[in-house]
Chains A and B, each alone.
Chain A
Amino acid sequence: MNIYDLIFYLFAALTLISAFFVVTNKNIVHSAFYLLFTFFGVAGIYVLLGADFVAIVQLIVYVGGILILLLFGVMLTNKITNVEIKTGTINIFSATIGVGLFAGVLLAAVLYAPWKVTLLQEPVSTTGILGNLLMNEYVLVFELLGIILLIALIGAASIARR
């Protein structure tokens, strides 16, 4: 086990443990704060995979933006911090079937996915490659992205300012 593996397991443990606390915590604001560590751990794993641009976007957008939005969403809602969030089991039979099916799908995806195994190579900076792809093959997708962002913008403005 080299230092790379050690750091990988560190980030993986951070992600999993904080995700566990997000789900099990009774206080929804605390859950939102634990989500910060989950996002951060995922960013660390992106760095280890050599996806530097995605890692920075993860930090800027998820940690810096989505989480703030989530917290505002919690704070907008009246008395949500006092609500007793039920973490008990309600419908054991249907829940077991649902969770079992989902776990089966996930397990099948892990087992049958064609994992690409490559030789250990030096990862290069991906920002320039991404710029090339966005302007050549995926230029239409890029413009569509603009339209999706426009829809989100108009939706937010029209809902908040009725």
Chain B
Amino acid sequence: MLEQYIPIFLVITIALIFAVVTVFASKIFGPQRPNKSKISTYESGMQPIGTTNERVSIKYYLVAMLFIIFDLEVIFIYPWAVQFKKLFGELGISVFVSMFIFLVVLELGYLYAYKKGGFKWD
């Protein structure tokens, strides 16, 4: 089964080599005539304002946290979904019920975050 990973491994290797080679090749072969506006930070064509060390809002953190939790939820649904037909034949409706309880518990948290305004962006 490990042979199945050879294409993935090849893609990763080629992507890495391509990225490294292009960056260094342009550094070696390209002409370098820097001036002040060329080496300044690109900020969508505007004059750069401030530094990059700005504090970001806590809202981003909350969104990232919600993302990870629902990401994990989906990950636990996945093996269940793969085996659902077989398990349903063996255990009947209880397979459905146990996943339903899992989802209901998480949806309670979803409702709480919703009521708290976790999805609002103001």
Query: Could you tell me which A residues sit within 8 Å of B by CB distance?
Result: 4, 7, 47-48, 50, 52-53, 57, 60-61, 64-66, 68-69, 72-73, 75-79, 81-82, 122-125, 127-128, 130-132, 134-136, 139, 142-143, 145-147, 149-150, 152-154, 156-158, 160-161
Nearest B residue to A40 via CB reads B12
**Interface of B: prevailing SS:** helix
Chain B residues at the A interface, C-beta cutoff of 8 Å: 1-2, 5, 9, 53-56, 58-62, 64-69, 71-73, 75-76, 78-84, 86-87, 91, 95, 98, 101-103, 105-106, 108-110, 112-113, 116-118
Most chain A beta carbons < 10 A, residue from B56, B78, B79, B112: B79
Name B76's contact: one of A60, A79, A145, A154 (CB within 8 Å).
A145
Residue of A nearest to B107 (CB): A150
- A156 CB contacts on chain B under 8 angstroms: 61-62, 65-66, 69, 113
The minimal Cβ–Cβ distance linking B4 to chain A, given in whole angstroms, is 9
The residue on A at minimum CB distance from B120 is A161
- Further contacts, 4 of them, CB under 8 A, given A61-B72, A75-B54, A156-B66: A61-B68, A65-B64, A160-B62, A161-B117
| A154 touching B112 in the complex, CB below 8 Å, given contacts A127-B82, A131-B83, A131-B87 | yes
